[in-house]
Chain A
Amino acid sequence: MLFFSYFKELVGKEVTVELKNDLAIRGTLHSVDQYLNIKLENTRVVDQDKYPHMLSVRNCFIRGSVVRYVLLPQDGVDIDILHDATRREARGG
Chain B
Amino acid sequence: MSWAGPDEIFLSTSLAGFLDKKLIVLLRDGRKLLGTLCSFDQFANVVLQGACERVIVGELYCDVPLGLYVIRGENVVLIGELVWFWIEQDREKDELPAHMTCVSEAEIRKAEKAEREARDLKGSMRKRMEFLDFD
Contact = CB atoms under 8 A, between A and B. Distances in A.
A13 interface: no
Interface in A25-74: 25, 31-33, 35, 37-39, 43, 52-63, 65-66
B32 A19 contact: no
Interface stretch (B12-20, B109-117, B125-133): B12-20
A37 B12 CA distance: 10
Contacts of B95: 55-56
Contacts of A57: 24, 80-83
Nearest to B97: A52
B66 interface: no
Given A31-B13, A38-B13, A66-B28, A58 B81 contact: yes
Contact of A21 (B11, B28, B100): B28
Category for how many chain A residues contact B: 20 to 34
Nearest to B83: A56
A49 to B, nearest CB: 8
A51 to B, nearest CB: 9
Category for how many chain B residues contact A: 20 to 34
B102 interface: no
Interface string B55-80: 01000010000000000011011111
Contacts of A23: 26, 77-78
B78 A66 contact: yes
Contacts of A43: 80
B44 interface: yes
A9 to B, nearest CB: 15
Contacts of A58: 81, 83
Interface of B: 11-15, 18, 24, 26, 28, 30, 32, 42, 44, 54, 56, 61, 73-74, 76-84, 94-97, 100
